């Protein structure tokens, strides 16, 4: 697995995409909202609001580059440990986004799905999730997964418990269990594994995101805070991906 850190040259044009290999599924760890706000002496909520604008740019870039699947790490299971005021701000911003951006996502042909422990949100928020998924269910231009209250370890643990229960109840023969079967018990059942994982803010961590699914993902770390993320950064990450030789453990030819 190769790792590359990128910085965006000022004023660089968006690269042409016609001849390059485009990943089927891009996953993004959106990091840096707090530092962006602190650098401007603004409250953290201002950083999260600016980050929501970057989400719009990222979705548009995915559509323009004909990426079929996009997963955004919006709220981790560990984020519940943040100060109560910040958690309230984050969930309120999420509710506002779902209510005010859904029509535009639908017009753009985006299918929205939520992965993670949605039951940890209040009933009103869960209804918003269900409404957004129902309205966009028939869209095919872009499959957008938003990871909320998601953690890779808890995803694997949850799947393991479900498998143990299936074996106990006689619904699953453990001798027949393989990686494909295991994947059906994860939140991402039916979703292809990410080909490319991008993290912003210059940090070099997966932060408990899609640990099982990212086993063979190409990793790109960008030296840009999430609120400053734009289509050129997305294109640079795709160019880096296109230059990689993906061998999936096989010896080079």
Q: Is 154 annotated as a binding residue?
A: no
Active site (catalytic) residues: 31, 79
Q: Is 218 annotated as a binding residue?
A: yes
Q: Is 149 annotated as a binding residue?
A: no
Q: How far is CA 243 from CA 6, 28, 218, 230, 252, in A?
A: 14, 19, 11, 21, 15
**Letter string b/e over residues 79-116, b meaning 16 or more CB atoms within 10 A of that residue's CB:** beebeeeeeebbbebbeebbeebbeebbeeebbbbbbb
Q: Token digits for 211?
A: 């640990």
Q: Token digits for 86?
A: 């910040």
In the block, residue with structure tokens 């890779």: 152
**Count of other CB atoms within 10 angstroms of residue 159:** 18
Strand partners, 221: 5, 199
Q: Is 205 annotated as a binding residue?
A: yes
Radius of gyration of the chain (CA): 19
Q: Is 201 annotated as a binding residue?
A: no
Are 173 and 7 in contact, with CB atoms under 8 Å apart? no
Dmax over Cα atoms in the chain, in whole Å?
61
Q: Is 48 annotated as a binding residue?
A: yes
Q: Is 76 annotated as a binding residue?
A: yes
In the block, residue with structure tokens 């190769």: 2
Q: Is 44 annotated as a binding residue?
A: yes
Q: Is 35 annotated as a binding residue?
A: yes
Q: Is 119 annotated as a binding residue?
A: no
Intra-chain end-to-end CA distance of the chain, in Å = 17
Q: Is 208 annotated as a binding residue?
A: no
Q: CA 28, CA 199: separation in Å to the nearest integer?
A: 6
Q: Is 31 annotated as a binding residue?
A: yes
Q: Is 33 annotated as a binding residue?
A: yes
Q: Token digits for 24?
A: 């089927």
Q: Is 141 annotated as a binding residue?
A: no
Q: Residues annotated in the binding site for substrate, as ranges?
A: 32-36, 44, 48, 76-78, 80, 82, 199, 205-207
Q: Residues annotated in the binding site, as ranges?
A: 31-36, 44, 48, 76-78, 80, 82, 199, 205-207, 218
Q: Residues annotated in the binding site for Mg(2+), as ranges?
A: 31, 218
């Amino acid at each position: 697995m190769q790792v590359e850190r990128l910085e965006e040259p000022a004023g660089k044009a968006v690269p042409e995409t016609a001849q390059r290999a485009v990943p089927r599924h891009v996953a993004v760890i959106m990091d840096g909202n707090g530092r962006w706000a602190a650098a401007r002496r603004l409250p953290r909520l201002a950083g999260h609001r600016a980050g929501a604008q970057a989400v719009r740019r990222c979705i548009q870039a995915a559509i323009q580059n004909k990426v079929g699947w996009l997963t955004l790490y919006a709220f981790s299971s560990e984020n519940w440990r943040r100060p109560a005021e910040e958690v309230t701000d984050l969930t309120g911003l999420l509710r506002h986004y779902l209510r005010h951006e859904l029509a535009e996502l639908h017009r753009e042909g985006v299918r929205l799905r939520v992965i993670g422990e949605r039951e940890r949100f209040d009933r009103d928020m869960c209804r918003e999730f269900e409404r957004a998924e129902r309205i966009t269910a028939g869209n095919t231009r872009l499959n957008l997964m938003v990871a909320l209250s998601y953690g890779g370890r808890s995803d694997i643990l949850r799947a393991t418990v479900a498998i143990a229960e299936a074996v106990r109840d006689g619904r699953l023969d453990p001798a027949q269990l393989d990686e494909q079967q295991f994947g059906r018990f994860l939140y991402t059942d039916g979703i292809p594994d990410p080909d490319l994982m991008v993290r912003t803010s210059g940090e070099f961590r997966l932060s408990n995101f899609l640990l099982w699914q990212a086993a063979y993902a190409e990793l790109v770390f960008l030296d840009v805070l999430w609120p400053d993320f734009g289509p050129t950064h997305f294109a640079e990450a795709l160019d880096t991906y296109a230059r990689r030789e993906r061998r999936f453990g096989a010896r080079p030819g």
